[in-house]
Amino acid sequence: MHRACALAALVLGVSAVNALAQPVAEIFKCRNEQGQVTYTNDRRQAEKQKCELVSRQQINVAPAQARSPGFPRESAHDSVNARERQREVLQGELDSEREALTRARHALAEQEAVRSGDERNYARVQERLQPFKDTIENHEKNIQALQREIGNLK
């Protein structure tokens, strides 16, 4: 008899531990005095309003994984190498933007020298030259952004 009680206590204890380890989602359907239906997952509210249980499901929760001690980390040397590679890439982009800016300025100068017969007023000349000016402005902004980014590398 003593063993049967101990076994029952053990089974209940294991059940209680399992119940704690796996949360349960319960949904209750409640009606108020006007007959309106509401749903809740708050057991205390459901007990106060005498709601009926609609759904009960076990929720499986995976435990958080501990970071292993062999988790790869970037060394200081690797970090410096990565910054140097980044600096080289940015410097290459800066050089190509400067070349593109030189070409764009040259193209604008060529277009400013051209006068066609249908451009008697200055507004038409400005309209024709505006895309070249926009290209130059775009390259200048790109150069400034790249210089800032290179300056931000530590």
- DSSP character string of 9-55: HHHHHHHHHHHHHS-EEEEEEEE-TT--EEEE--HHHHHHHTPEEEE
Q: Both 81 and 144 in a single domain?
A: yes
The answer to whether residue 113 is domain-embedded is: yes
Residue 121 Ramachandran class (φ > 0 left, ψ -120 to 50 alpha, else beta): beta
Q: Both 40 and 103 in a single domain?
A: no
Q: What is the mean pLDDT of residues 5-15?
A: 48
pLDDT at 95: 96
Q: Both 95 and 38 in a single domain?
A: no
Look up the domain containing 121 and give its range.
77-152
pLDDT at 97: 96
Q: pTM surpassing 0.75?
A: no
**With 90 as the cut, is the pLDDT of residue 131 above it?**
yes
The answer to whether residue 3 is domain-embedded is: no
